[in-house]
Amino acid sequence: MLPHRALIALLACGSIAAQDLAPFDRSEPVAPGIVYRERRFYRGELGPFTMQILMIDPREPSVNLLPVRALDRAIGRERTTAMAERYGAIAAINGGFFVTRGVFLGSSAYPYALEGQVVSGGPSRAALLFCEEKKFVEDLRIATVNFQGAVRMNGESWPLRGVNQERAEGSLMLYTARMGPSTLTAGDGYEVAVNESGRVVETGASDLAIPPGGSVISGSGPAAIWLRRNVRRSKRVRVQAALRQKPETCRATDVLGAGPRLVEAGKVVAPANPRHPRTAAARKADGTLLLVTLDGRQKISIGMTLAELAEELVSMGAMEAINLDGGGSTTMVVKGRVRNSPSDGAERPVGDAVLVFSAPDRESAQRIQGSVRAREEAEKSLRR
């Protein structure tokens, strides 16, 4: 790694290699309220660092931000560019952490919700909240989110471990239509399929079909015994599954579990750890939203620790910031083109993404906001 002073000396000699690592800072307008900025910089003698930034004015009525799942399902992976193209987004970054192997490849590792519906109910985690808009103003906040759920019938209840995730031994798991046709479970267990009104329509040991608009409650070990004992065909089953935030910052329509929190009230709260490529979301005091990627593991950019990234975001005016999935997942797309340099050498398929839209009018913005729901309804119709 070249010290900054040595780099400047090489620049004076006209070295091509040094020019490749020279600092720069350039911006380009993307759409009303959206500016793309790219920087290469040094922090003292550390570097180089190459960063890509989407600066978004949330008060611009044409701007909309939405998280989307890969393939519009609870499991599976897809390239960020493909998700952006499929939805017609003008820009995008990769989203949260996901399962990297097995049958549940691509499923969210942490709590996740779309249009108020829980997609994944993982362990408590810092999350990016997409708050309900007021007068078409985008509002992203950060809070700790945890999953709470239970199944109730015959006067008894059993806690849910999660939603659309691999079933742990001795637990109850809820599987919704976002899983696809069936639960993909295997081995000893007991499953109960319920329709939209909560009535039992089928039971089985594993990999039960998920009814359109309904769900499957899947148990193993003691939870399976409890489920089998209490279920009665055509009897109503009550299922409660929700994500709770602390503090209660806003009414969130969508929730993307990630973390850890990087900046709180303008102060760095991130830990120091090894340098890697990074993806983050931040909010400035004036409401400006920053979607950020940082290259790493390469000659052009060494990556940052979480603490270094937090410090850089604070220097850019961030009051709140959260870490998203990084490493080989780090991706920024603007106008259909990957703008960062993925550390794998090519874009990696990921579990979800944050899409940025520019709508020409309010009617178009409303269609964008309802796009996830519309796709869900279309998929339900196909299954019927």
What integer pLDDT is reported at residue 239 of this predicted model? 96
Give the confidence band of 10 by pLDDT, cuts at 50, 70, 90. very low
Residues 217 and 239 sit within 8 Å (Cβ to Cβ): yes
Q: What percent of the chain has pLDDT over 90?
A: 83
Query: In terms of C-beta distances under 8 Å and separation of at least 24 residues, what long-range contacts does 150-153 make, across chains too?
Result: 150/239, 150/240, 151/217, 151/227, 151/237, 151/238, 151/239, 151/240, 152/237, 152/238, 152/239, 152/240, 153/230, 153/231, 153/232, 153/235, 153/236, 153/237, 153/238
Residues 206 and 187 sit within 8 Å (Cβ to Cβ): yes
**Architecture of the domain delimited by 119-252:** Sandwich (2.60)
Which tens digit of pLDDT belongs to each residue from 261-298? 999 999 999 999 999 999 999 999 999 999 999 999 99
Over 70: is that where the pLDDT of 361 sits? no
Rama region for 40: left / alpha / beta (φ>0; ψ in -120 to 50; rest): beta
Contacts of 89 (CB under 8 A, 6+ apart): 83, 333, 355, 356, 357
Which tens digit of pLDDT belongs to each residue from 186-211? 988 999 999 999 999 999 999 999 99
- The arithmetic mean of pLDDT across residues 140-164, rounded, is 95
Over 70: is that where the pLDDT of 176 sits? yes
Over 60: is that where the pLDDT of 9 sits? no
328 to 20, 47, 175, 282, 340: CA distances (angstroms): 22, 19, 29, 21, 11
The per-residue pLDDT of the chain, averaged, comes to 90
pTM over 0.75: yes
What integer pLDDT is reported at residue 232 of this predicted model? 75
Which tens digit of pLDDT belongs to each residue from 55-113? 999 999 999 999 999 999 999 999 999 999 999 999 999 999 999 999 999 999 999 99
What ranges do the domains of the chain cover? 31-101+258-383, 119-252
DSSP β-bridge partners for residue 354: 67, 93
The amino acid present at 361, given as its one-letter code, is: D
- The arithmetic mean of pLDDT across residues 46-59, rounded, is 97
- The arithmetic mean of pLDDT across residues 156-174, rounded, is 95
Q: What percent of the chain has pLDDT over 70?
A: 88
Residue found by looking up tokens 């960062």 in the block: 340
What integer pLDDT is reported at residue 187 of this predicted model? 86
Over 80: is that where the pLDDT of 154 sits? yes
Give the confidence band of 359 by pLDDT, cuts at 50, 70, 90. confident
Q: Which residue has the higher pLDDT, 279 or 13?
A: 279
If you count them, how many residues does the chain have? 384
Over 70: is that where the pLDDT of 356 sits? yes
Q: Which residue has the higher pLDDT, 307 or 18?
A: 307
Which tens digit of pLDDT belongs to each residue from 299-354? 999 999 999 999 999 999 999 999 999 999 999 999 999 999 999 999 999 999 99
What integer pLDDT is reported at residue 20 of this predicted model? 79
What integer pLDDT is reported at residue 380 of this predicted model? 46
Q: What interhelical angle do 362-369 and 371-383 show, nearest 10?
A: 50
What integer pLDDT is reported at residue 371 of this predicted model? 56
Over 80: is that where the pLDDT of 53 sits? yes
